[in-house]
Amino acid sequence: MRVQDQLFRPNTSNLFKGSKEIRKHRSSTFLCFYIETIFSDERHTGWHANGISNITNQSSGLIEKPITNSLDYDEIESPLHLREIIANGKRGMSAAAAWKWIIFGFIGVLTGILAFGMTYITSKLYGVKFLLLKEVINNCGSCFWIPYLVLLSINAGAVLLSSCLVQFIEPAAGGSGVPQLKCFLNGIRIPKIVRMKTIIVKVLGLILAQSGGLILGKAATLIMAGATIAAGISQGQILTIGKNRKFLGLFREKRDFVAGGVSAGIAAAYGAPLGGLLFALEDSISFWKQTLIWRIFFTAVLCAFTMSFLLSGINGDGWGSFTQPGLVNFGKFIEKAEYNIYHLPFFALIGMMGGLFGSFFIHVNMRLAKLRYTYRTKRSWRIIEAVFVSILTTTICFTISAKLTQCKDIHDNEENWTHYGFYCPEGKFNELATLYFTPETTAVAEILHAPRDYSNISLLVFLFTFLPLACLTSGITVPSGTFIPSLLFGATFGRLAGQILQANMEIINADTGTFSLLGCAAMLSGMFRTPISLTAILIETTNDISYAPPIMFTVIVAKWIGDLFDDGIYNTWDPPQWMAGKSVSDVMSGELVNLTCHPTVEKVVRTLQECEHNGFPVVDEGGRLRGQILRSQLTVILYEGGYGRMEDGDVPEVALDCFRYHFPRFPELHEIQVDESELDMKLNLLPYVNPNPHTVTPNTNLSRAYRLFRSMGLRHLPVVNEKNQPVGMVTRKDLAFYSGSCEKNAEQQLEFSTFTS
């Protein structure tokens, strides 16, 4: 008989009154600790952009999101677990470690193959589209409307299909996905974020969106692809290695593999394995260990090798050569970097511009995100918006290229670079069309190195149209990313600054390629504020360490200027400053549900029925804390029949392999069969509990609790008194709810003062 048939379903409306863990929160899906960072990036994907957990009601135009659960990343050092470690010995640990190295290697190779396939298909579709457009222009005698309508139909149709894939097949595939992934890596369960269905829709949607001419990049999708491949392998969904669950059946192991997938995505995009490692450490995972760092780097190296091997072979450089390291390749600077102390003020100026432009991008997207919540309440409106942005982008780019034609000669040393004739006579190219229609990854390298001189007017026109279109595009419901568009924008304004200095201050000897590179660094730092990984990525992409000092200097200046206005897309992990004046007692849920060391089956079942807690303090007869046990552990114990008569000494112990077998979909309560005669039987929880959970006292500073959650990967933090008796519990939801309320109050006060001043 199922337990819900066996026991009545009680009224829980008054149960645990005041407990933030089970009451309805106005919290969003994203309950990470640097959640305002997450929302900052989701300004680009249409999610909430106001703060850590607060979702206001419908009257404010925002949609309330459901509560999500945390993941169990803290290691449960139960007696059962420790006995297994001792029994396995060194040989067993070495075998598990070897399998992990193999899995990390597969993640790198498969991510590189997927990245190559996505890049190859996109480039072919792009080429076919513009070959067709060229034929139409030539056949109609350089007319305007027919080529325009042909290009508009192709682009709008591709974007329509991309948006429909997201809206009707897998909504989780929209946007960049990186903020949700960061939540997952730091202990928040985000539904469907690393499912194979999600990444399939994401890859197909991105190919269509890029082929449709939208201003977006591949890097975020490659990061998500690596993470999804890692998640699939870690659960035995891709390779047939998942039968041995001794090292796979844990959320923290899955997290480690996904972190390797993140670094592989960066390595595939930029051919930068060290940058991928640093990105994972600086901006993705907030807790790590030495062996994990080695394995992540190994994954990134294999991914970069795979990508380089395939790209070099398909582009005619010969199979077996590694001449093209990644999707974005800045190429080699022919001349050695030369800069002097009098260049530093101009490098600082580039950094300041990058910080200002980055903050402008973030601010505009915050406003757009709030605006979108007022009208994007239906699928049809979201699809219409995506198609409208496609039409607007195509119209602006095509019209400006056709009507403001800047035809320039193609010189002998420019034959290997990209040119778009586009209403220009044979032997000439259209400067604006080349800027608008060259794929972003190729355009960055050409702005850095092409021997041609772009006119300042063309660069200005491109800048003043590209940035607004990029802001508008980043929030629509198609798979997208902002990393590569920000590179292109930064390279363009850096090139413009270099050309102006070169023309007006010859004594400075300003190299346009150097200033373009520093523009890339400044724009990236102004938006993302991750100077360490950005510096490594740019140095690896240029293959020239001599550019390291100016890149570092520019990145730091851009970050400083950007921090004056906002926190950037990717925020820090430090607790908010206001937490220093608060204590744990301000946020903890005061009424607990404790379990004794030997509860009856009926007591456990009722407890699981009557509350939604996922962790329970286990106490002795004196009420002192003996450990902590998870809801998932209790359901497995009940499902496997781990109970009996204590007086007879007949309480079977559930093996650890049973818990691994049920990972990650643990039994639900309605799946458990319990007979009436078994309700008075008892469970022995002591072999399963974590006997030494992290604890705090009620007067502990809230900032310290915040750091404990972040650095230790906690899901629950018991609060004990001087007698070691549990008096409260802090969860991520409690912190998120409390933080969101404080942030919302502060924001309302700021808006009031702004509007009344």
Q: Give yes or no for residue 708 having a pLDDT over 50.
A: yes
Q: For 211-249, what is each residue's pLDDT tens digit?
A: 998 999 888 899 999 999 988 887 765 544 444 444 555
Tell how strand 595-596 and strand 726-731 pair up. unpaired
**Which of 297-301, 373-377, 597-601 is the least confident region?**
373-377
Task: Spell out the CATH class of 100-314.
Answer: mainly alpha
Q: What is the rounded CA–CA span in Å between residue 455 and residue 741?
A: 51
Task: Give the pLDDT of residue 706.
Answer: 87
Report domain extents, the chain: 3-31+587-731, 100-314, 341-567
What local confidence, expressed as pLDDT, does residue 415 receive? 61
The most confident of 5-14, 205-214, 238-247, 744-753, by mean pLDDT: 205-214
pLDDT given for residue 683 in this prediction: 92
Predicted confidence at residue 86, as pLDDT, reads 81
Predicted confidence (pLDDT) per residue in 439-468, tens digit: 887 888 888 877 777 888 989 999 999 999
Query: pLDDT-based confidence at 4, cuts 50/70/90?
Result: very low
Tell me the pLDDT of the chain averaged across its residues. Answer: 79
Q: How confident is the model at residue 747 (pLDDT cuts 50, 70, 90)?
A: very low
What does the pLDDT read at residue 317? 64
The answer to whether the CB of 34 falls within 8 A of the CB of 572 is yes
**Under a CB-based contact definition with an 8 Å cutoff, are residues 735 and 705 in contact?**
yes
- CATH for the stretch 3-31+587-731: 3.10.580.10
> Which of the residue ranges 10-24, 152-166, 325-339, 492-506 would you say has the lowest mean pLDDT?
10-24
Whether the pLDDT of residue 575 is over 90: the answer is: no
Q: Considering the domain 341-567, what is its CATH architecture?
A: Orthogonal Bundle (1.10)
- Do the two domains 100-314 and 341-567 of this chain adopt the same fold? yes
Q: What percent of the chain is predicted at pLDDT more than 90?
A: 31
Residues 6+ apart with CB under 8 A from 569: 37, 40, 41, 43, 44, 362, 482, 527, 528, 529
Of 38, 739, 49, whose CA–CA distance to 363 is shortest? Answer: 49
Per-residue pLDDT band at 653 (split at 50, 70, 90)? confident
Q: What pLDDT band is residue 14 in, cutting at 50, 70 and 90?
A: very low
How distant, in Å, are the alpha carbons of 41, 52, 221 from that of 571? 9, 12, 20
The mean pLDDT of 14-20, rounded to a whole number, is 32
What is the token pair recorded at 147? 């080529």
Residue 390 has pLDDT above 60, yes or no: yes
pLDDT of residue 677: 84
* 369 has a pLDDT exceeding 80: yes
Q: Determine which of 85-89, 289-293, 726-730 has the lowest per-residue pLDDT on average.
A: 85-89
pLDDT of residue 649: 67
* Strand arrangement of the beta sheet that strand 595-596 belongs to: 595-596, 615-619, 625-630
Average pLDDT score over residue span 393-417: 79
Q: Is the pLDDT of residue 58 over 90?
A: no
Q: Which H helix or E strand runs over 430?
A: strand 428-430
pLDDT at site 725: 92
Average pLDDT over residues 677-702: 90
Residue 617 has pLDDT above 70, yes or no: yes
200 — pLDDT class (breaks 50, 70, 90): very high
In this structure, of 148-162, 233-247, 555-569, 640-654, the range with the lowest mean pLDDT score is: 233-247
Please report how many Cα atoms fall inside a 13 Å half-sphere around the Cα of residue 44, on the Cβ side. Answer: 34
Range from 190-199, 222-231, 284-293, 535-544 carrying the lowest mean pLDDT: 284-293
Radius of gyration of the chain (CA): 28
pLDDT greater at residue 36 or residue 490: 490
Omega of the bond prior to 693 within 30 degrees of 0, cis? no
pLDDT score of 350 = 95
Most confident option among 17-31, 60-74, 449-463: 449-463
